[in-house]
Structures are given as structure tokens and as C-alpha cells.
Amino acid sequence: MENGDADGKPKRAAGRLCSICNQKKPALKRPKTLEQICRECFYSVFEEEIHNVIVDNHLFKPGERIAVAASGGKDSTVLAYVLSELNRRHNYGLDLFLLSVDEGITGYRDDSLETVRRNEVQYGLPLKVVSYKDLYGWTMDEIVKTIGLKNNCTFCGVFRRQALDRGAALVRADKLVTGHNADDMAETVLLNILRGDIARLSRCTFITTGEDGPIPRCKPFKYTYEKEIVMYAYFKKLDYFSTECIYSPNAYRGFAREFIKDLERIRPQAILDIIRSGENFRISTSTKMPEQGTCEQCGYISSQKLCKACLLLEGLNRGLPKLGIGRSRGPDRAKKDGKQRTLLSGVKGSDLQSKQCGTLDF
């Protein structure tokens, strides 16, 4: 029989093989390329793509101290593991360590920090933890009790960014690396378009930011899909914390994230296309961009006299939690700045001495 064996039974079709090595059975379909590949080839291409991003963009120099922003989640855990492996394999000559921020969220951050402490032992990387309570005098639990669930992500995002910079400065890091992946980058491009935030849109796809600030930040996962990070962590059996922040369900970014996921289901390449679009945006020369300076209160980088963190913190300390929320444009900016200066008159007095915006000089 043409399609059977001697007993007349149909022959079983040969199993599909890995599209890279053509030897082993595929274990997954890559979300980025839709290739069906085996585990070993997946590990290889995943790590090699990140290595190429690091080399092509000259992210590091031998001898640099690199702080890995570690939250205990999948992105930062995989980042710490892969950087450790690549540093050893390709002899980057980097001094790596973990840097975590304790926002003070009971039942979330306290549990995730336990994961980071296990990673410290597993990867042999020293860990430094800085907290909102020590830096600002407030925990996120206390902030949410004061302001409610609306706008809490604004406070946390501003405070966390500055806390990472201050922690990196404290341990004398040359650079800070974060686990922002391709999905995050695409979401940020979309968010800045929806907000009409030209200043951030012009720089949000940079793989390295803050080179003119206190600590440059790098994103080795800029072109790495979130799904592939999850697959890598799963197959490698990495120890990470997967619970979402209890205060984030109403975050504006969440709606952009769902939209990106819908696009990815229709066309996986959409994520990279959005990033490429962001990279190719050109801002008109007639557009007035904010000038970067330093905060008069804490010395942190700021385009205003007071940085966002100092403004938000002062609002909390004075019982005016809405101070600093939102943005205004044009003629309203001068009026708003005048109002802020009135509210913040006496800002160097005893009110703020007990709860300053950070404790380090830049």
C-alpha cells in the first residue's frame, strides 16, 4: 500500500523538528518570529539576541558597576540571571549587584522582596534595598490611605524612579539597568501619544536614558517580548514573584497594555513596529521643549524649580495630596507655577526637615 505498512495500517507522519537545529522536537513557538524551536535553541537565540543588543548599542564598558533594578518579578529576575550568564560567558568585566525598592505595600512588596533575597543567594549578587519610608517618610500604604486609589500610581512611579537613582548613587553604580521589555516600550510610546506628551515621546524609545543626569539607565530587553521572558523563566525554572501590585488595577497604563495585547494577537510584529515608529518620530524644530535643570530643594534633575517628587511629597506633608497631579500648558503654566510657589513658601522650614525628598546629594 502506498501510504501504509505491511499490515495495512497508515504510516504516522514524521514529527516536525526544530526549525533551527533540525534535530530535536520543538518545545515552543516563538511569539516574536512564530518559529517552532526546541528549548536549547530557544535559550541560545534568546540570550544571543540580548547579547547583540548590548554589544551593538555599547551599553557597558569593562569595569563598570552595574545596578540591576530588581523587583522580584519575571522581567528583573530574568534580567539578573541573563546578565550574570552573559557577563561570565562573554567576559564583559562588569561588577553586578541587585538594587530593590521597598515601597511599603503590605502583602505585595514584602513578599516579592523575599524572592529578591533568594535571588541574591542563587546568583551570588549582592543586594541593596532602599525604602520609601527612609527616603520620603511615607509608605505607599500610608499614601493610599491619604489619597485613595486614584492617582496612587503617579506617586509611586515618581518616587520609585528617584529612589532607584538614589539607591544606585548610594552604592556608587556607574549605570542602572531595568527590565523594561518590548511590550513596555510599545505601551509607553502609545501612552505618550495619547497624553500628547511630546517631551517624553521624543526620548521614550532610547535604549539608554539619563546620560546627562545622575545615573544613566539601560534597557537590554528593549526588543525582547514579554511572552518570551515568561517562557524563558518557566523553562529555566527561575525563582520569581508573579503577583500583580494590589494598587495597580486602575492604572492608565493597563488600558494601553490590553490594547497592545490585542494587536499582538492579530499581528505579533506590531510590538516591534510601534517601537520602530517611536524611534523614527521627529519633533518639529518649532516645538518648545522643557529645559532640564535641577530641583532647588533636593538637587534632582527637573525641568521645573521643584522636581515632581518634592512637589508630591510637599502636598502629602501639607495635607494637599492633589498638589502636583496632572499637567498644564501654555499660559496656565505660569499661573500654576505661581500657585505652587505660594503653597511651597517656607518649604525649607521645619515642615520638610523631618521628611525630605531623599537624603543624597547629586
- DSSP letters along 271-317, please? HHHHHHHHHH----TTSPPPPPEE-TTT--EESSSS-HHHHHHHHHH
Judged by DSSP in three states, 345 sits in coil
By CB atoms closer than 10 A (0-12, 13-18, 19+), residue 102 is buried
> Could you tell me the three cell numbers for 32?
516574536
CA atoms within 13 A on the CB side of 135: 30
> Could you tell me the three cell numbers for 264?
499582538
Name the amino acid, one letter, at 212: D
Q: Computed over its alpha carbons, how large is the radius of gyration of the chain?
A: 24
Element (H, E) at 194: helix 182-195
β pairing state of 95-102 and 175-177: unpaired
Handedness of CA 20, 22, 23, 24 (dihedral sign): positive
Which residues contribute to the annotated binding site for ATP? 69-71, 75, 101, 179, 184
Which residues contribute to the annotated binding site? 69-71, 75, 101, 179, 184
Q: What are phi and psi of 293, to 5 degrees?
A: -140, -150
* Distance (Å, whole) CA 104 – CA 136: 11
- DSSP letters along 59-93, please? ---TT-EEEEE--SSHHHHHHHHHHHHHHHHTT--
Query: Is residue 4 within 8 Å of residue 12, measured between CB atoms?
Result: no
Cβ burial 39-52 (10 Å sphere, 16+ → b, else e): bebbbebbbebbbe
Q: What is the dihedral of CA 233, 234, 238, 244, to 10 degrees?
A: 80
